[in-house]
């Protein structure tokens, strides 16, 4: 293996892997706390997260497009153009984020109804998404800041911010769900409130990190002097990149609708299984992101041989990770399910 490339992949990918693990813990604790508080809450969360992540994939796609464009332009020594893309992304992503907030805050309950949620689960899920929608007040800032830092190959600050956000989320969720430290017992909706506050603070911190970069000075004037054509280029590049994830999440949403038709509790079980499967993604995402960043950079430098090597190393690592987790899932399924549900009958059902 070429030492220079593997070293750069590790330096870029390892913090992203840590970041994904911490984000997974963020999601993991939400579901674990809610499942232990009220098993119906698992179904409520699953009904929320399926359509919610369809909307998020649009942002993730734009973020990926931004990362590729910035990395490519930096590799081609076009730093000023990279800066303009960052300023444009910040403006348009934040505008779209505010539209998302309005949609989920006022119409989230109707989406939950269309998902097939009824009765207690409809009330829990609609209350949850209404509160969680406050995350979109700053989400555009956070996704843009993350895309810029990844495009520059500076992934450690992202990990540090997400680590802080996750620790805060665990503390707030535990306090709000169960009524600790003098807080009221909000139950399932306490998870949404804790997550919303953590997301907002994390986004603000991440944007502050970008503004502190000495060689990538975002300008307030440049942000408000946005060019739709530059944003369109990010969309055209990013959306095809995120299409696989979008289609996967769309399939999950349809599955939840069908499960709700049979038994609303089944959607909660599907959420538990999906949460466990996502564990694999957290470990190989760092390799995938480092491949994307380095290929974009080497493409800007027109170094074709290095592009081939980066792709090869990324594939080898991903196959290794998937094999390890396949063995883990087949060997210890009951121990994994016990984190989310305590009843033996439900654990046995999940194992089948």
Give the pLDDT of the chain (352 residues) as one tens digit per residue. Answer: 577 888 888 887 777 777 777 777 777 777 778 877 877 777 888 788 878 877 777 787 888 889 889 988 888 889 999 999 999 999 999 999 999 999 999 999 999 999 888 888 899 999 999 999 999 999 999 999 999 998 898 888 988 998 899 899 999 999 999 999 899 999 989 999 999 999 999 999 999 999 999 888 899 999 999 899 999 888 888 888 777 777 877 888 888 888 878 877 777 777 777 777 777 777 777 777 788 778 877 887 888 888 888 888 888 888 888 888 888 878 877 777 776 666 666 666 666 6
| Per-residue confidence (pLDDT) for residue 201, from 0 to 100 | 96
| Per-residue confidence (pLDDT) for residue 285, from 0 to 100 | 75
| Per-residue confidence (pLDDT) for residue 189, from 0 to 100 | 92
Encoded tokens for 66: 């931004």
Asked if residues 44 and 116 have their Cβ atoms less than 8 Å apart, the reply is: no
Q: Where are the domains of the chain?
A: 3-351
Asked if residues 278 and 285 have their Cβ atoms less than 8 Å apart, the reply is: no
Residue 17's nearest CA partner among 333, 330, 242, 318 is 318
The single residue listed with the structure tokens 């139950």 is 187
> Within 13 Å and on the Cβ side, how many CA atoms surround 162?
22
Cβ-defined contacts of 261-264 (< 8 Å, 24+): 261/116, 264/40, 264/43, 264/116, 264/117, 264/118, 264/119, 264/121
Asked if residues 84 and 230 have their Cβ atoms less than 8 Å apart, the reply is: yes
Quote the DSSP letter at residue 216.
S
Spatial distance between the Cα atoms of 155 and 142, rounded to a whole number of angstroms: 14
Radius of gyration of the chain (CA): 21
Nearest-10 crossing angle of helices 344-351, 264-301: 50
CA 110 vs. chain centroid, Å, equals: 24
Asked if residues 287 and 314 have their Cβ atoms less than 8 Å apart, the reply is: yes
Instruction: Quote the pTM value.
Output: 0.79
Residue 95's nearest CA partner among 64, 63, 136 is 136
Apex CA 311: angle with CA 306 and CA 314, to 5°?
Answer: 125
Instruction: End-to-end CA distance of the chain: give it in Å, rounded.
Output: 42
| Per-residue confidence (pLDDT) for residue 351, from 0 to 100 | 60
């Amino acid at each position: 293996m070429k030492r220079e490339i593997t070293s750069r992949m590790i330096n870029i990918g390892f913090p992203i892997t840590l970041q994904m693990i911490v984000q997974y813990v963020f999601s993991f604790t939400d579901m674990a706390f809610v499942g232990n508080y009220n098993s119906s809450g698992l179904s409520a969360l699953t009904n929320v997260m399926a359509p919610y992540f369809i909307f998020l994939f649009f942002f993730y796609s734009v973020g990926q497009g931004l990362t590729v464009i910035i990395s490519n332009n930096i590799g081609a020594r076009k730093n000023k153009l990279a800066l303009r893309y960052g300023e444009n992304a910040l403006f348009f992503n934040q505008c779209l984020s505010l539209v998302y907030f309005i949609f989920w805050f006022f119409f989230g309950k109707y989406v939950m109804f269309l998902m097939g949620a009824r009765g207690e689960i409809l009330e829990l899920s609609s209350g949850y998404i209404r509160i969680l929608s406050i995350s979109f007040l700053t989400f555009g800032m956070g996704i843009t800041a993350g895309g810029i830092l990844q495009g520059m190959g500076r992934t450690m600050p992202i990990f540090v911010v997400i680590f802080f956000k996750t620790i805060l989320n665990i503390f707030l969720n535990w306090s709000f769900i169960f009524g600790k430290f003098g807080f009221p017992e909000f139950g399932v909706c306490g998870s949404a409130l804790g997550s919303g506050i953590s997301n907002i603070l994390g986004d603000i911190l991440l944007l502050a990190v970008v503004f502190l970069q000495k060689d990538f000075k975002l300008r307030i004037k440049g942000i408000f002097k946005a060019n739709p054509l530059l944003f369109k280029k990010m969309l055209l590049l990013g959306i095809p990149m995120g299409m696989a994830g979008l289609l996967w999440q769309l399939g999950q949403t349809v599955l939840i609708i069908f499960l709700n038709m049979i038994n609303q509790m089944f959607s909660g079980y599907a959420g538990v299984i999906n949460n466990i499967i996502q564990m694999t993604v957290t470990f190989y995402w760092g390799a995938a992101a480092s491949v994307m960043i380095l290929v974009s950079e080497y493409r800007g430098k027109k170094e074709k041989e290095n592009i081939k090597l980066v792709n090869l190393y990324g594939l080898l690592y991903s196959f290794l990770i998937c094999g390890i987790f396949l063995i883990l899932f087949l060997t210890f399924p009951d121990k994994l399910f016990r984190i989310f549900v305590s009843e033996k009958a439900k654990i046995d059902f999940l194992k089948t």
